[in-house]
Amino acid sequence: RIVVPFTPGGSTDILARAIGQRLSETWGQPVVIENKPGAGGNVGVDYVAKAPPDGYTIVMGHIGTFAANPALYHPLPYDPVRDFAPITQVAKVPNVLVVGPAIPARSFAEFVAYAKANPGKVFYGSGGNGSAAHLATEYFKMRTGLSMQHVPYKGTGPALADLLGGQIGVIITGAPPLMGHLKSGKLRALAVASPQRLAILPDVPTIAESGYPGFSAVQWYGLFAPAATPKDVVAKLNRDAVAALKDPIVAERLASEGAEPVGDAPDEFGAFVKSEIALWGKVIRESGAKVD
């Protein structure tokens, strides 16, 4: 089982299903994707922390559950370093600033001007308090000085539904759940939060090149097993997951969603997670972001 600690339809779920299908073929047995949402992802992650360490139950973690939640939840029911064995970073997913019918702006500059002219009247959505989208947007507000109101949802899917319906105006979130709506023209991408433009959205500028140098808010996703999982089992999970990410069909699937496959070693991924905990802890403290 690959546990997804969020509702279906978000980036975590999409990536888990993409790699899960390939691993199912490799192992010759079904890989079940199990959605266990709740408490900003804490319910599903804690479930895997306490699961039998046999390699049969792993979790698709991400920047929120493994880097941000330690600074947001007190107490946190799990320790993202002590309670888990990193397997591999699956992908990096740049955030994209998109607007719906409630916002008239057609460019990033127009959006900034509109938000400045309407302080506190622009509502942005996220997959929940403390979610990656929430923190990315708070970081965006810090850098731009814009005043926008947060509307938390129980998952990215419900937030996008209200964005499409005009109940909220903007969201800054990972590319995968956005692509279908962008291709249909129902939502408009005004900027990407990665250091470079996305190949899948070549005409959409970065926030960094649009007046905010150095701005970067990229989501990441990776597989983790319970801490006591034997090293040889973790090594096999890493080997097969990395091979799956190199498969042309999986790589194309991820690229079509705006995701960049990674596939690093367990120790590399573990060091990366520790650095992210330090980085986002600082952002959370300085922004005053809270989960209540």
d(CA 254, CA 91): 8
- 66-69-72 Cα angle (round to 5): 165
d(CA 256, CA 114): 31
Which of these, 130, 126, 180, lies nearest to 153 by C-alpha position? 126
Supply the pLDDT for residue 290.
76
d(CA 90, CA 68): 18
Supply the pLDDT for residue 135.
86
d(CA 67, CA 90): 15
Q: Above pLDDT 70, what percent of the chain? A: 100
The pLDDT mean for the chain works out to 94
pLDDT of residue 11 exceeding 90: no
With bands split at pLDDT 50, 70 and 90, how would you rate the model's confidence at 292? Answer: low
- Determine the average pLDDT of the residues in 99-106: 98
Where does residue 55 fall: left (phi above 0), alpha (psi -120 to 50 degrees), or beta otherwise? left
pLDDT tens profile 16-26 = 999 999 999 99
Place of tokens 């997951």: 241
Whole-prediction pTM value?
0.82
pLDDT tens profile 273-291 = 999 999 889 888 887 777 7
- Determine the average pLDDT of the residues in 257-261: 87
- Determine the average pLDDT of the residues in 151-169: 94
Supply the pLDDT for residue 128.
83
d(CA 162, CA 181): 13
pLDDT tens profile 189-228 = 999 999 999 988 999 999 999 999 999 988 899 999 999 9
Supply the pLDDT for residue 75.
92
